[in-house]
Protein backbone atom coordinates (compact mmCIF):
# COMPACT_ATOMS: atom_id res chain seq x y z
CA UNK A 1 0.00 0.00 0.00
CA UNK A 2 1.44 3.33 -1.00
CA UNK A 3 2.15 6.25 1.29
CA UNK A 4 -0.80 8.34 0.19
CA UNK A 5 -3.02 6.01 2.23
CA UNK A 6 -2.10 8.07 5.26
CA UNK A 7 -5.06 10.36 5.02
CA UNK A 8 -6.36 13.61 6.31
CA UNK A 9 -8.28 13.77 9.57
CA UNK A 10 -11.11 16.20 10.37
CA UNK A 11 -12.45 16.37 13.92
CA UNK A 12 -16.08 17.43 13.71
CA UNK A 13 -17.74 19.87 16.03
CA UNK A 14 -21.48 19.83 16.57
CA UNK A 15 -21.81 21.60 19.83
CA UNK A 16 -19.79 20.87 22.95
CA UNK A 17 -20.88 17.31 23.47
CA UNK A 18 -19.45 16.19 20.13
CA UNK A 19 -16.34 18.27 19.94
CA UNK A 20 -13.37 15.96 19.60
CA UNK A 21 -15.40 12.81 20.13
CA UNK A 22 -15.99 12.03 16.43
CA UNK A 23 -13.20 12.37 13.91
CA UNK A 24 -13.79 11.90 10.20
CA UNK A 25 -10.86 10.68 8.12
CA UNK A 26 -10.24 10.17 4.44
CA UNK A 27 -8.11 7.02 4.34
CA UNK A 28 -5.61 6.48 7.13
CA UNK A 29 -7.32 3.31 8.35
CA UNK A 30 -4.09 1.30 8.28
CA UNK A 31 -2.63 3.46 11.01
CA UNK A 32 -4.27 0.77 13.10
CA UNK A 33 -1.12 -1.27 12.45
CA UNK A 34 0.66 1.20 14.73
CA UNK A 35 -1.93 0.68 17.43
CA UNK A 36 -1.61 -3.12 17.40
CA UNK A 37 -0.09 -4.32 20.64
CA UNK A 38 -0.41 -7.06 23.20
CA UNK A 39 -3.31 -6.57 25.55
CA UNK A 40 -5.24 -8.61 28.07
CA UNK A 41 -8.56 -7.09 26.95
CA UNK A 42 -9.49 -5.39 23.67
CA UNK A 43 -9.68 -1.60 23.82
CA UNK A 44 -10.75 -0.83 20.25
CA UNK A 45 -13.68 -2.04 18.17
CA UNK A 46 -12.97 -2.24 14.44
CA UNK A 47 -16.37 -1.89 12.86
CA UNK A 48 -16.07 -3.08 9.26
CA UNK A 49 -19.47 -3.86 7.75
CA UNK A 50 -17.98 -5.87 4.86
CA UNK A 51 -16.97 -9.26 6.23
CA UNK A 52 -13.99 -9.65 3.89
CA UNK A 53 -12.63 -6.29 5.05
CA UNK A 54 -12.30 -7.69 8.58
CA UNK A 55 -10.41 -10.63 7.14
CA UNK A 56 -8.18 -8.28 5.11
CA UNK A 57 -7.22 -6.31 8.22
CA UNK A 58 -6.43 -9.56 10.03
CA UNK A 59 -4.25 -10.59 7.08
CA UNK A 60 -2.37 -7.26 7.23
CA UNK A 61 -1.77 -7.74 10.94
CA UNK A 62 -0.55 -11.27 10.34
CA UNK A 63 1.76 -10.21 7.50
CA UNK A 64 3.23 -7.50 9.73
CA UNK A 65 3.55 -10.10 12.52
CA UNK A 66 1.55 -7.90 14.85
CA UNK A 67 -0.71 -9.07 17.68
CA UNK A 68 -4.41 -8.46 17.20
CA UNK A 69 -5.77 -8.87 20.72
CA UNK A 70 -6.19 -5.12 21.26
CA UNK A 71 -8.86 -5.16 18.55
CA UNK A 72 -12.35 -6.58 18.50
CA UNK A 73 -13.63 -7.19 14.95
CA UNK A 74 -17.34 -6.48 14.60
CA UNK A 75 -20.15 -5.29 12.39
CA UNK A 76 -22.96 -3.09 13.69
CA UNK A 77 -25.46 -5.95 13.92
CA UNK A 78 -23.17 -8.07 16.10
CA UNK A 79 -22.42 -5.12 18.40
CA UNK A 80 -26.16 -4.46 18.62
CA UNK A 81 -26.90 -8.07 19.49
CA UNK A 82 -24.37 -7.92 22.32
CA UNK A 83 -25.90 -4.67 23.60
CA UNK A 84 -29.45 -6.06 23.60
CA UNK A 85 -28.18 -9.19 25.37
CA UNK A 86 -27.22 -7.06 28.39
CA UNK A 87 -30.89 -6.23 28.94
CA UNK A 88 -32.20 -9.68 28.05
CA UNK A 89 -33.94 -8.23 25.00
CA UNK A 90 -34.64 -10.75 22.29
CA UNK A 91 -32.63 -10.19 19.12
CA UNK A 92 -34.66 -12.62 17.05
CA UNK A 93 -34.68 -11.11 13.58
CA UNK A 94 -36.50 -11.88 10.36
CA UNK A 95 -34.39 -12.56 7.30
CA UNK A 96 -35.16 -11.46 3.77
CA UNK A 97 -37.01 -14.64 2.87
CA UNK A 98 -39.31 -14.20 5.86
CA UNK A 99 -39.96 -10.62 4.83
CA UNK A 100 -40.69 -11.50 1.20
CA UNK A 101 -43.16 -14.16 2.34
CA UNK A 102 -44.86 -11.71 4.69
CA UNK A 103 -45.04 -8.99 2.05
CA UNK A 104 -46.72 -11.46 -0.28
CA UNK A 105 -49.20 -12.12 2.50
CA UNK A 106 -49.73 -8.40 2.90
CA UNK A 107 -50.61 -8.08 -0.76
CA UNK A 108 -53.07 -10.94 -0.68
CA UNK A 109 -56.33 -9.18 -1.40
CA UNK A 110 -58.42 -12.19 -0.42
CA UNK A 111 -57.38 -11.83 3.22
CA UNK A 112 -59.93 -9.36 4.56
CA UNK A 113 -57.91 -8.15 7.52
CA UNK A 114 -54.82 -7.26 5.47
CA UNK A 115 -53.97 -3.55 5.60
CA UNK A 116 -53.90 -1.53 2.40
CA UNK A 117 -50.55 -1.04 0.74
CA UNK A 118 -50.10 1.97 -1.53
CA UNK A 119 -48.58 0.59 -4.72
CA UNK A 120 -46.44 3.06 -6.64
CA UNK A 121 -46.83 3.40 -10.38
CA UNK A 122 -45.10 0.60 -12.22
CA UNK A 123 -44.90 -1.81 -9.29
CA UNK A 124 -47.03 -4.92 -9.57
CA UNK A 125 -48.89 -6.31 -6.59
CA UNK A 126 -47.08 -9.58 -7.20
CA UNK A 127 -43.61 -8.13 -6.96
CA UNK A 128 -42.63 -8.39 -3.27
CA UNK A 129 -38.94 -7.94 -4.15
CA UNK A 130 -39.51 -4.44 -5.54
CA UNK A 131 -41.58 -3.52 -2.51
CA UNK A 132 -38.87 -4.80 -0.17
CA UNK A 133 -36.33 -2.73 -2.11
CA UNK A 134 -38.50 0.39 -1.67
CA UNK A 135 -38.73 -0.31 2.07
CA UNK A 136 -34.98 -0.81 2.51
CA UNK A 137 -33.99 2.19 0.39
CA UNK A 138 -36.29 4.44 2.38
CA UNK A 139 -34.91 2.99 5.61
CA UNK A 140 -31.32 3.60 4.45
CA UNK A 141 -32.09 7.26 3.71
CA UNK A 142 -34.29 8.00 6.75
CA UNK A 143 -34.04 5.25 9.40
CA UNK A 144 -37.83 5.90 9.70
CA UNK A 145 -37.00 8.87 11.93
CA UNK A 146 -39.89 11.37 12.19
CA UNK A 147 -37.64 14.37 11.50
CA UNK A 148 -36.26 12.75 8.37
CA UNK A 149 -39.71 11.78 7.13
CA UNK A 150 -40.68 15.43 7.36
CA UNK A 151 -37.47 16.30 5.51
CA UNK A 152 -38.42 13.73 2.85
CA UNK A 153 -41.84 15.31 2.36
CA UNK A 154 -40.47 18.85 2.29
CA UNK A 155 -37.76 17.90 -0.19
CA UNK A 156 -40.16 15.94 -2.37
CA UNK A 157 -42.42 19.01 -2.40
CA UNK A 158 -39.72 21.07 -4.08
CA UNK A 159 -39.53 18.68 -7.06
CA UNK A 160 -41.48 19.26 -10.28
CA UNK A 161 -44.72 17.40 -10.93
CA UNK A 162 -45.14 14.39 -11.19
CA UNK A 163 -41.83 13.50 -9.52
CA UNK A 164 -43.00 15.16 -6.30
CA UNK A 165 -46.06 12.94 -6.10
CA UNK A 166 -44.15 9.79 -7.08
CA UNK A 167 -41.60 10.46 -4.35
CA UNK A 168 -44.34 11.02 -1.74
CA UNK A 169 -45.96 7.81 -2.87
CA UNK A 170 -42.75 5.82 -2.35
CA UNK A 171 -42.66 7.07 1.21
CA UNK A 172 -46.24 5.86 1.78
CA UNK A 173 -45.46 2.49 0.24
CA UNK A 174 -42.36 1.99 2.38
CA UNK A 175 -44.25 2.92 5.56
CA UNK A 176 -47.20 0.68 4.65
CA UNK A 177 -44.86 -2.27 4.12
CA UNK A 178 -42.94 -1.67 7.34
CA UNK A 179 -46.20 -1.28 9.29
CA UNK A 180 -47.63 -4.39 7.68
CA UNK A 181 -44.54 -6.41 8.59
CA UNK A 182 -44.63 -5.16 12.18
CA UNK A 183 -48.28 -6.17 12.48
CA UNK A 184 -47.45 -9.74 11.51
CA UNK A 185 -44.60 -10.62 13.85
CA UNK A 186 -43.04 -10.11 17.26
CA UNK A 187 -39.57 -10.51 15.81
CA UNK A 188 -37.36 -7.62 14.76
CA UNK A 189 -38.00 -6.85 11.07
CA UNK A 190 -34.38 -6.81 9.90
CA UNK A 191 -30.77 -6.43 11.03
CA UNK A 192 -31.22 -2.69 10.54
CA UNK A 193 -34.17 -2.85 12.94
CA UNK A 194 -31.88 -4.65 15.37
CA UNK A 195 -29.30 -1.85 15.12
CA UNK A 196 -32.09 0.69 15.68
CA UNK A 197 -33.28 -1.08 18.82
CA UNK A 198 -29.71 -1.11 20.18
CA UNK A 199 -29.43 2.58 19.28
CA UNK A 200 -32.43 3.38 21.50
CA UNK A 201 -31.09 1.18 24.31
CA UNK A 202 -27.83 3.13 24.29
CA UNK A 203 -29.59 6.43 24.94
CA UNK A 204 -32.40 5.24 27.21
CA UNK A 205 -29.95 3.43 29.52
CA UNK A 206 -27.60 6.39 29.33
CA UNK A 207 -24.84 4.10 28.12
CA UNK A 208 -25.26 1.40 30.79
CA UNK A 209 -25.70 -1.32 28.15
CA UNK A 210 -22.45 -0.22 26.55
CA UNK A 211 -20.54 -0.25 29.83
CA UNK A 212 -21.92 -3.68 30.65
CA UNK A 213 -20.87 -5.09 27.27
CA UNK A 214 -17.76 -3.17 26.28
CA UNK A 215 -16.31 -1.68 29.44
CA UNK A 216 -12.71 -1.92 28.22
CA UNK A 217 -13.37 -0.24 24.85
CA UNK A 218 -12.24 3.36 24.47
CA UNK A 219 -12.17 3.64 20.69
CA UNK A 220 -14.58 2.73 17.91
CA UNK A 221 -13.10 2.78 14.39
CA UNK A 222 -15.56 2.53 11.50
CA UNK A 223 -14.01 1.65 8.14
CA UNK A 224 -14.50 0.44 4.59
CA UNK A 225 -17.63 2.51 3.90
CA UNK A 226 -18.49 4.41 0.72
CA UNK A 227 -21.60 5.95 2.30
CA UNK A 228 -22.98 6.40 5.80
CA UNK A 229 -26.61 5.25 6.00
CA UNK A 230 -29.08 6.93 8.34
CA UNK A 231 -29.27 3.83 10.59
CA UNK A 232 -25.45 3.80 10.93
CA UNK A 233 -25.36 7.55 11.57
CA UNK A 234 -27.97 7.25 14.31
CA UNK A 235 -26.18 4.30 15.90
CA UNK A 236 -22.88 6.20 15.98
CA UNK A 237 -24.69 9.28 17.25
CA UNK A 238 -26.12 7.26 20.15
CA UNK A 239 -22.68 5.81 21.01
CA UNK A 240 -21.31 9.35 21.19
CA UNK A 241 -24.26 10.66 23.21
CA UNK A 242 -24.23 7.80 25.71
CA UNK A 243 -20.54 6.96 26.14
CA UNK A 244 -17.15 8.62 26.23
CA UNK A 245 -15.78 6.37 23.48
CA UNK A 246 -13.74 8.11 20.76
CA UNK A 247 -15.26 7.48 17.34
CA UNK A 248 -13.15 7.55 14.18
CA UNK A 249 -14.82 7.12 10.81
CA UNK A 250 -12.46 6.35 7.93
CA UNK A 251 -13.98 7.15 4.55
CA UNK A 252 -12.51 6.10 1.22
CA UNK A 253 -10.64 8.21 -1.29
CA UNK A 254 -13.24 8.99 -3.98
CA UNK A 255 -16.20 9.62 -1.66
CA UNK A 256 -14.31 10.73 1.45
CA UNK A 257 -13.99 14.44 0.72
CA UNK A 258 -17.70 14.65 -0.10
CA UNK A 259 -18.83 12.60 2.89
CA UNK A 260 -16.63 14.52 5.32
CA UNK A 261 -18.65 17.62 4.49
CA UNK A 262 -22.02 15.98 4.04
CA UNK A 263 -22.16 13.53 6.95
CA UNK A 264 -22.02 15.90 9.98
CA UNK A 265 -25.55 17.13 9.18
CA UNK A 266 -26.80 13.56 9.68
CA UNK A 267 -25.75 13.72 13.35
CA UNK A 268 -27.95 16.76 13.93
CA UNK A 269 -31.06 14.59 13.99
CA UNK A 270 -31.99 14.27 17.65
CA UNK A 271 -33.24 11.23 19.59
CA UNK A 272 -31.44 8.64 17.45
CA UNK A 273 -33.39 5.44 16.82
CA UNK A 274 -36.77 7.13 17.21
CA UNK A 275 -39.29 5.93 14.61
CA UNK A 276 -42.68 7.10 13.39
CA UNK A 277 -44.35 3.82 14.27
CA UNK A 278 -44.38 3.95 18.05
Using CB under 8 A, which residues numbered 9 to 38 contact another protein? 29-30
- The footprint of another protein on residues 203-242 (CB under 8 A) is 223-224, 226-230, 233
Query: What are the φ and ψ backbone dihedral angles of 259, each rounded to 5 degrees?
Result: -65, -35
Q: Which of 77, 252, 271, 276 binds another protein (CB under 8 A)?
A: 252
Spatial neighbors of 230 by CB under 8 A, at least 6 apart, are: 139, 140, 141, 142, 143, 145, 148, 266, 269
- Give Cα 190 to chain centroid, integer Å: 12
Residue list 110-139, contact with another protein (CB under 8 A): 110-111, 120, 130, 133-134, 137
Kindly indicate which of the ranges 1-9, 16-24, 70-78, 203-211 contains the residues binding another protein, using the contact rule CB under 8 A. Answer: 1-9
Nearest-approach distance from CB 54 to another protein, in angstroms: 9
Exposed/middle/buried for 140, CB within 10 Å: 0-12, 13-18, 19+? Answer: middle
Tell which one of 86, 118, 147, 204 touches another protein (CB under 8 A).
147
Site membership for another protein, residue 159 (CB under 8 A): yes
Helix (H, G, I), strand (E, B) or coil at 23: strand
Q: Least Å distance between CB 147 and another protein?
A: 6
Judged on CB neighbours under 10 Å (0-12, 13-18, 19+), 145 is buried
- Size of interface with another protein, in residues (CB under 8 A): 72
Phi-psi region of 60 (alpha: psi -120 to 50; beta: other; left: phi over 0): alpha
Can residue 187 be called a binding residue for another protein (CB under 8 A)?
A: no
The residue among 87 and 187 lying less far from another protein, judged by its C-beta, is 187
8 A C-beta contact, residue 217 and residue 248:
no
Touching another protein, residues 40-99 (CB under 8 A) = 50-53, 56-57, 59-60, 63, 95-98
Of these, 100, 212, 213, 276, which contacts another protein (CB under 8 A)? 100
To the nearest whole angstrom, how small is the minimum distance from the Cβ of residue 152 to another protein? 6
φ, ψ of residue 10 to 5 degrees: the values are -125, 110
Amino acid sequence: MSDEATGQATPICLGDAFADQITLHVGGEMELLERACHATVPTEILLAPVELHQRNIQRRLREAQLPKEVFEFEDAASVSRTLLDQRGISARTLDRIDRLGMIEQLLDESASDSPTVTLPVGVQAHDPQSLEQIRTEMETVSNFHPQRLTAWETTAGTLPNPIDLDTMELLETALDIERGLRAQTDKIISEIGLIRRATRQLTTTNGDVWTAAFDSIDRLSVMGLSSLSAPYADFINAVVMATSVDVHIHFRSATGEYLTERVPALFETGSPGEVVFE
